Amino acid sequence: MRTVDAAFARAAQEGRAALVGYLPAGFPSVGAGIEAATVMARSGVDIVEIGLPYSDPLMDGPVIQEAVHRALAGGVRVADVLTTVRAVAATGVPVLVMTYWNPVDHYGTETFARDLAEAGGCGLITPDLPPEEAEPWLRAAARHGLDRVFLVAPSSSDERLGLICEACRGFVYAASVMGVTGARPQLGDAAAGLVSRVRRHTKLPVAVGVGVSTAAQAAQVAGFADGVIVGSAFVRRLLDAPEVAEGLASVADLAAELAVGVRGLPGQAIAAGHDTQI
């Protein structure tokens, strides 16, 4: 199992950004979700985010909300999330869990940290947990050697950026635009400025997410960020597929195309006959 630090370091040595891919656990089923995340890891994604399905996903747009709804309707539990983490970590790709805080708090912060570490997980991305309220998680993460990734936004003040960066380990998650997740035809202009501002406060890698869905967009973000995060576009490939096997093939195609994009060569993906538009 590689660490998040090692994944970013390897990408930097290769002169490119790291590719981070997200899929929720339990979608389309627990088993198929494991297959999809594993395919993603083997097709060019450097770091995998496994979403913990939650009934009130405030930050998520309609695509991820639909997938999460189906996972919950299928009966997914925290144990299934940990099973997914274990299976994907076995590929050697670092795995983080993306989760709202309520399920972790309900499970027990210390217990969750212990079980995540035992499953081979590298840490948590916590979109709704302010650093000021995160002390129990910061302590538990330190005890179990887990990364803690917090989010910054274009609206974050410099004072707040400093506070959030101080709490982060692994990398800093920079939301490219204000609003919920989802593929966008064009990315906002604020992302590059936000990354520049974040770098004044930390030496950690800065990865940009929210809206990236094509190789061209991945190349654009890779021009100024250390990592490119893609979620809704992968989920959409599974939602749109009439059969699981077709969805897995489509996820693999997208991962390969985006892997070309983070190397700054999106035209090669198109020349190879792959159109990344969602």
Domain 4-271 fold = TIM Barrel (3.20.20)
Q: Which residues contact 70 (CB under 8 A, 6 or more apart)?
A: 26, 27, 28
- Mind listing the pLDDT tens digit for each residue in 28-75? 999 999 999 999 999 999 999 999 999 887 778 899 999 999 999 999
Which pLDDT band holds residue 206 (cuts at 50, 70, 90)?
A: very high
Query: Catalytic amino acids?
Result: 49, 60
Q: Give the Cα separation of 82 and 148 in Å (integer).
A: 17
pLDDT value for 274: 41
What pLDDT score does 1 carry?
53
Residue 100 confidence (pLDDT): 95
Domain coordinates in residue numbering, the chain:
4-271
pLDDT reported for residue 63: 93
Mean local confidence (pLDDT), 216-243: 95
CA 257 and chain centroid, separation: 17
Has residue 277 got a pLDDT over 70? no
- Residue 264 reports pLDDT greater than 90: no
The residues, ordered by sequence, that sit 6+ positions from 25 with a Cβ below 8 Å of its Cβ are 33, 50, 51, 52, 53, 71, 76, 80, 81, 84
Please, is 243 exposed, middle or buried when counting C-beta atoms within 10 Å of its C-beta (0-12, 13-18, 19+)? exposed
Would you mind telling me the total number of residues written for the chain in this entry?
A: 278
Arithmetic mean of pLDDT, 193-220: 93
Least confident of 99-108, 180-189, 203-212: 180-189
131 or 272, higher pLDDT: 131
Count of alpha carbons within 13 angstroms of residue 43, beta-carbon side? 19
Question: Is 221 within 8 Å of 212 (Cβ atoms)?
Answer: yes
CA distance 149 to 172: 6
Q: What is the pLDDT of residues 18-38, one digit of tens each?
A: 999 999 999 999 999 999 999
pLDDT surpassing 50 at residue 180: no
- Predicted pLDDT of residue 266: 55
Q: For residues 164 and 198, what is the distance between their CA atoms, to the nearest angstrom?
A: 10
Bridge partners, residue 97, by sequence: 50, 124
Write down the mean pLDDT value for the chain: 91
pLDDT for res 57: 77
Is the confidence at residue 184, as pLDDT, over 50?
A: no
Residue 269 predicted with pLDDT over 70: no
pLDDT tens string 119-167: 999 999 999 999 999 999 999 999 999 999 999 999 999 999 999 999 9
Task: Tell whether the model's pLDDT for residue 181 goes beyond 50.
Answer: no
